[in-house]
Structure 1
Amino acid sequence: MRRTERGAFTPEERKAALWALLVAGVIAFAALMIQQWTQPSLGPWGADQAAVSMPGVLEAQPVASGL
């Protein structure tokens, strides 16, 4: 039975939307896989600097309020 009323989207538009979702899913999956293989950049505080403690940080105490 053929519908007499038209849908909101043409078959070509539905096909394009499906392809767009598929491509977006593949890109997201690839980004997740790449993220698993790479480490985040820590800049100057990277792996070489991670073990170095900053002077005065371990002994730091909160400032007492005068209230």
Structure 2
Amino acid sequence: MRSTERGAFTREERKAALWALLIAGVIAAMAMMVQQWTQPSLGPWGADQASVAMPDVLDAQPVA
């Protein structure tokens, strides 16, 4: 096989793909670091709202 044969992708395309993978990896790593420092938002069911009972809602009970 000759080394001058043209491949599926050009050198510029391979370079762009490498940069895209590198940037995606950095973004994923940063997201994982930020996730360690923050708590998920539970909206109205958060810790300060957990003890509030909803009106006209009964506790779950078996049918039989």
Please classify the TM superposition score into its range, dividing by the shorter chain length.
0.7 to 0.9
2:59 is the counterpart of 1:32: no
Listed as ranges, the matches of 1:10-49 within 5 Å are: 10-49=10-49
Q: C-alpha separation between the residues in 1 aligned to 2:7 and 2:49?
A: 61
- Aligned Cα root-mean-square deviation (Å): 1.9
List runs of 5+ in structure 2 lacking aligned partners.
Answer: none
Query: Deviation of residue 56 (structure 1)?
Result: 4.8
| Bigger mean CA deviation after superposition, 12-21 or 41-50 | 41-50
Q: How many residues align?
A: 60
Q: Give 3-state SS (helix, strand or coil) of 2:49's partner.
A: coil
List runs of 5+ in structure 1 lacking aligned partners.
Answer: none
TM-score by length of 1: 0.74
Q: Give 3-state SS (helix, strand or coil) of 2:47's partner.
A: coil
TM-score by length of 2: 0.77
Name the structure with the higher helix share.
2
